[in-house]
A and B are shown apart, each in its own frame.
Chain A
């Protein structure tokens, strides 16, 4: 199983693979291709760097404490209103 996709097919599914959006069968085909195809593996690593950077950058921002307090106060007022 999963031994016969070419570079073009692997490339077309690369982001979906990295985002874990493929079915197990399709993911296995891409994984098997990346294991034996150095150029595609390198491209996957490049795209992975991009996706990891975006997720990491995003996580550094959180809801400011003041806003959280403001929202909780507004919710409490709303709750008391019934």
Chain B
């Protein structure tokens, strides 16, 4: 029997089966998000492990049956900011003056109206392009469009308004689409649009 158990019968100190059942299914999502945040597999592994240990220790703060994935991702994200991001000397602030590309669809609707080129780009190149996004944009795109979190869940995890989630997503998607398009043209997946027409 564990010492803590006798002291607090009402509040078990071990997370045990419930932790296993609610937290462990999200290891894949945690690992994927960690990979995108760190852009480094070994750091991603450390980050996921740190996150799980912190989650385990804080398990009593989690309300069973609520959003375990969101709760875990919040811990992962805070851990990343506090313990990992500083090491990378990555620019934290998003450059709001950065050149904003136009909507890609208007540009390619004649050569690839269905956007078939997106799925012809190899996964590694897609992930490279995601990793090249500014950190604030990358984060919302990964959580929303790669992990399927709702805008509300993301706002809560990142402590930002839903409107900020949406505006970052809008710009992240545009930048990513433009980067993927440039890659697709460079590698001949789709032809470059003629510069003169009409």
Q: Which A residues fall within an 8 A CB radius of B?
A: 15-16, 19, 21, 42-43, 45-58, 60-64, 67-68, 70-71, 74-75, 78-80, 82
Q: How far is the CA of A37 from the CA of B4 in the complex (A)?
A: 65
Q: B31 to A62, Cβ gap below 8 A?
A: yes
Interface residues of B in 1-30 (CB under 8 A from A): 2-5, 13-16, 19, 27-28, 30
Of B35, B105, B166, the most chain A CB neighbours within 10 A belong to B105
Q: How far is the CA of A51 from the CA of B115 in the complex (A)?
A: 10
Q: B115 to A49, Cβ gap below 8 A?
A: yes
Q: A15 to B123, Cβ gap below 8 A?
A: no
Q: B48 to A71, Cβ gap below 8 A?
A: yes
Q: Is the interface of B mostly helix, strand, loop or mixed?
A: helix
Instruction: State whether the Cβ of B173 lies closer than 8 Å to any Cβ in chain A.
Output: yes
CB within 8 Å: A-B pair count? 105
Q: A71 to B27, Cβ gap below 8 A?
A: yes
Binds A, one of B69-77, B141-149, B187-195: B141-149
Q: A45 to B15, Cβ gap below 8 A?
A: no
Q: B52 to A71, Cβ gap below 8 A?
A: yes
Nearest opposing residue in chain A for B108, CB measure: A46
Q: Which B residues fall within an 8 A CB radius of A?
A: 2-5, 13-16, 19, 27-28, 30-32, 35, 45, 48-49, 52-53, 56-57, 105, 108-109, 113-116, 118-119, 121, 123, 126-127, 141-142, 144-148, 150-151, 166, 169-170, 173, 177
Q: How far is the CA of A15 from the CA of B141 in the complex (A)?
A: 12
Measured between beta carbons, the chain B residues less than 8 angstroms from A48 are: 115
Q: A57-B123, A78-B56 are in contact. Are A67 and B49 (CB under 8 A)?
A: yes
Measured between beta carbons, the chain B residues less than 8 angstroms from A61 are: 28, 31-32, 35
Closest CB in chain B relative to A13 CB, distance in Å: 11
Q: A58-B32, A67-B31, A82-B13 are in contact. Are A45 and B114 (CB under 8 A)?
A: yes
Closest CB in chain B relative to A81 CB, distance in Å: 9
Q: How far is the CA of A34 from the CA of B151 in the complex (A)?
A: 23
Q: How far is the CA of A17 from the CA of B49 in the complex (A)?
A: 36
Q: How far is the CA of A45 from the CA of B113 in the complex (A)?
A: 8
Nearest opposing residue in chain B for A72, CB measure: B24
Closest CB in chain B relative to A54 CB, distance in Å: 4
Q: A54 to B109, Cβ gap below 8 A?
A: no
Measured between beta carbons, the chain A residues less than 8 angstroms from B2 are: 80, 82
Q: B119 to A49, Cβ gap below 8 A?
A: yes
Q: B4 to A49, Cβ gap below 8 A?
A: no
Q: How far is the CA of A82 from the CA of B7 in the complex (A)?
A: 11
Q: B27 to A47, Cβ gap below 8 A?
A: no
Nearest opposing residue in chain B for A44, CB measure: B105
